[in-house]
Structure 1
Amino acid sequence: MQFNKLQDRNNMAYFLFQTAMRWAGVRLDSLSLFVVCVTSLFITCLPATLINPSLAALALSYAMNVSVRTFQHTMRLAVETKATFTSVERIKHYIEVLESEAPSIIKEKRPHPSWPRAGAIQFSNVDMRYREGLPLVLKNITLDIKSQEKIGIVGRTGSGKSSMAMALFRMMELDGGSITIDGIDISTIGLEDLRSKLSIIPQDPVLFVGTVRYNLDPFKKYSDANYGRHFLNAM
């Protein structure tokens, strides 16, 4: 139901755009017809001794070509360009007005390269919403996951399971509370330092183009020897 309403709103805007373009086309056609009629009337009203018939035919031909083809095509391109330039305005609005993500790296707050060593995670009174004005999707969540502990979070659709994972990756900033990993508040470090240390297997996993090794290490941080040792341990 919500999808149909949003689709109708989108179609309304698209219909108005197409209607405006058709109205602009009608006005351009009327203007072109006016130019041709004035040229024809001017030629027929002049005495034959004042204008050469060949020049009169040339003027009428130019009036039709310029007004009907070149002028209309140029004006329609200009109108369409101005109408579609709203996309550039939206991008400019997103860049200048909307709040951007936190910095990728905060030099004075960078964790140790070996972080996190234990992997203990604490949620303390966590509140989170997807954007300002919407209800909380996580409300006063408190939990303590010990090092090397395996847990499962169950619940109905929309209960906040995926939202907890998004909170860990800081896809949205918290409205309240804190999340710490090995004693470090994840809101105080850069996004690259945080997200590069976390892994997730989504519901619909996607393999990127390339080899298995590239999918395991797309940034080429580890040598082949490290991979061989880990593969042997896994077997």
Structure 2
Amino acid sequence: GGVQASSLLFQRLLRDVARSPIGFFERTPVGNLLNHFSKEMDTVDVEIPDKLQALLTYTFGLLEVCLAVMTATPLAIVAILPLMLLYAGFQSLYVATLCQLRRIESASYSSVCSHVAEMFQGSAVVRAFQAQDHFVAQSDALMDMNQRVSFPRLVADRWLAVNLELLGNGLVFVAAMCAVLSKAHLSAGLVGFSVSAALQVTQTLQWVVRSWTDLENSMLSVERVQDYAHTPKEAPWTLPACAARPPWPRGGQIEFRDFGLRHWPELPLAVRGVSFQVHAGEKVGIVGRTGAGKSSLAGGLLRLQEAAEGGVWIDGVPITQVGLHMLRSRITIIPQDPVLIPGSLRMNLDLLQEHSDDAIWAALETVQLKAFVASLPGQLQHECAEHGENLSVGQKQLLCLARALLRNTQILILDEAMAAVDPGTELQMQAALGHWFARCTVLLIAHRLRSVMGCGRVLVMDNGQVVESGSPAQLLGQQGLFYRLAQESGL
């Protein structure tokens, strides 16, 4: 039963986190997630069953001692009941205090985990700026804060031990007094048995209270595991009555109608009043300054963030009437930071094992990586390091392009995909786009205007709105924002 309950709690936690929108991960420190999946789940898996078993063992031991004392010296019941009330009062006060201290300690521990995780992720930058001493001092300060929270818990433990010791000694005194008052009716052996049993009550009472308190504190982990149960979730993964019918989309026509989007409910619109149509098979570039709302359009198309106003239609079907699984499986996106996970190259290219080795080699040949992969030890089974650290940025982007070729979707989004690659890699990607994605609808989001000069149409965004639209030659002739951006980039 305990294993089943723990497994169910873990599955719910994983589902709650996995179904959270992208904004949840932007606001939630990674240390909090690590703490929930490691320390809190370990408490649920290991400590709660052990504490429950210990509580039952010591509780029955305490009942045995009390029954022995009351059987040998019935007068002791008059004093045992008030002592039990005092015991209950001490326990309730201690448990209430310790629960709050445990919450504070867990929060401070999450801060330590977040800082360590972020420091490891940015270790190259920390070393580059020689800021090791600053981060070590910050880590020490967080650890000191965590220890300052732990110290009151130890003080509370000592306070409980002293008071329980007094209660236990009181019970021994009561048993001895009752034996003296009833000496005319009791034998020496019975009196010895009563006092001997009473001497055991101190340790047993301490363990009962400590086991009960530890169990109640451990139950806080169950509460924390369910923290994310009530956070906002994404739209349903599948819909019973989906407006799109396979094969969808057939052409890949995209239409934004008065589209508006905000990143958080309390923030103003990041994109507002955007209306444009992308024809099937059209290559459209989207440019603008940083913060103009270019990537927000891609997020809205994938429903990473829901529209605040207006909507998006693909082949005449509103995307709000399509399940997220179907929508996202029909769109391929290549981000600025290529995503590779630890594992073989084959797994990174075909995670669901839907394609043959021949198809994978053909995709690699298309992006001119076949010779490179063939030279690697293990070839397709070559192990990628975490984040693909054993590959260059250009190679990782070309692998992502090969993955897009294998997916063969009708809509392709390149979100600053060429921003960090060298000119040679950019030419390879442009050639693949012009030839192998000729029938796809392509949205090319870019800072570098050179990347969009080959597009049939370019949208220029500023302050969350589309301010210019047309071919690159037309926009240069208008001498508007696109013209100024071209001058700034040296075109």
User: Is the shorter-chain TM-score for this pair beyond 0.5, marking a shared fold?
Assistant: yes
Amino acid at match of 1:79: E
TM-score of the superposed pair, with normalisation by structure 1: 0.72
* Match among 149, 169, 175 for residue 283 of structure 2: 149
* Match among 158, 164, 173 for residue 32 of structure 1: 164
* Structure 1 CA distance for aligned equivalents of residues 166 and 154 of structure 2: 18
The CA deviation string for residues 186-235 of structure 1, in whole angstroms up to 9 with x for no partner, is 22222111101222233433312332222122122333343344344444
How far is the alpha carbon of 1:128 from its aligned partner? 1.4
Q: Which residue of 2 aligns with 1:3?
A: none
Shift of the 153–135 alpha-carbon distance from structure 1 to 2, 3 Å rule, reads same
* Match among 211, 215, 218 for residue 344 of structure 2: 211
Shift of the 40–80 alpha-carbon distance from structure 1 to 2, 3 Å rule, reads same
* Structure 2 CA distance for aligned equivalents of residues 44 and 169 of structure 1: 78
Q: Secondary structure at the match of 1:153?
A: strand
Amino acid at match of 1:168: L
* Structure 2 CA distance for aligned equivalents of residues 25 and 161 of structure 1: 57
The CA deviation string for residues 54-110 of structure 1, in whole angstroms up to 9 with x for no partner, is 536632441122012x2132121233034444325534435xxx5551342555423
* Paired residues for 1:192-231 under 5 Å: 192-231=325-364
Shift of the 202–73 alpha-carbon distance from structure 1 to 2, 3 Å rule, reads farther
* Match among 103, 107, 110 for residue 244 of structure 2: 110
The CA deviation string for residues 113-170 of structure 1, in whole angstroms up to 9 with x for no partner, is 36354x44332210112344442222112233443414143322x4433322211111
Shift of the 196–154 alpha-carbon distance from structure 1 to 2, 3 Å rule, reads same
Identity of paired residues, percent?
22
Q: Which residue of 1 aligns with 2:208?
A: 71
Shift of the 182–216 alpha-carbon distance from structure 1 to 2, 3 Å rule, reads farther
Shift of the 102–234 alpha-carbon distance from structure 1 to 2, 3 Å rule, reads same
* Structure 2 CA distance for aligned equivalents of residues 159 and 59 of structure 1: 79
Shift of the 109–23 alpha-carbon distance from structure 1 to 2, 3 Å rule, reads farther
Amino acid at match of 2:193: L
* Paired residues for 1:38-57 under 5 Å: 38-45=170-177, 46-47=179-180, 50=186, 52=189, 55=193
Mean Cα deviation higher: 15-24 or 205-214: 15-24
Asked if the contact 2:259–2:307 (Cα under 8 Å) also holds between the matched residues in 1, the reply is yes
Asked if the contact 2:261–2:308 (Cα under 8 Å) also holds between the matched residues in 1, the reply is yes
How far is the alpha carbon of 1:21 from its aligned partner? 5.8
* Structure 2 CA distance for aligned equivalents of residues 63 and 108 of structure 1: 67
Shift of the 203–29 alpha-carbon distance from structure 1 to 2, 3 Å rule, reads farther
The CA deviation string for residues 2-30 of structure 1, in whole angstroms up to 9 with x for no partner, is xxxx99xx9x9616996996786467435
Shift of the 114–121 alpha-carbon distance from structure 1 to 2, 3 Å rule, reads closer
Amino acid at match of 1:213: R
Long gaps (5+) in structure 1: 1-5
Task: Write 1 or 2 for the structure with the bigger share of helix.
Answer: 2
Q: Which residue of 1 aligns with 2:104?
A: 14
Mean Cα deviation higher: 76-85 or 192-201: 76-85
Q: Secondary structure at the match of 2:331?
A: coil
Asked if the contact 1:124–1:179 (Cα under 8 Å) also holds between the matched residues in 2, the reply is yes
Q: Secondary structure at the match of 1:76?
A: helix
Asked if the contact 2:168–2:199 (Cα under 8 Å) also holds between the matched residues in 1, the reply is no
Shift of the 22–232 alpha-carbon distance from structure 1 to 2, 3 Å rule, reads closer
TM-score of the superposed pair, with normalisation by structure 2: 0.38
Q: Which residue of 1 aligns with 2:317?
A: 184
Asked if the contact 2:244–2:317 (Cα under 8 Å) also holds between the matched residues in 1, the reply is no
* Structure 2 CA distance for aligned equivalents of residues 228 and 109 of structure 1: 36
* Structure 1 CA distance for aligned equivalents of residues 331 and 271 of structure 2: 20
Asked if the contact 2:262–2:271 (Cα under 8 Å) also holds between the matched residues in 1, the reply is yes
* Structure 1 CA distance for aligned equivalents of residues 164 and 356 of structure 2: 71
Q: Secondary structure at the match of 1:167?
A: helix
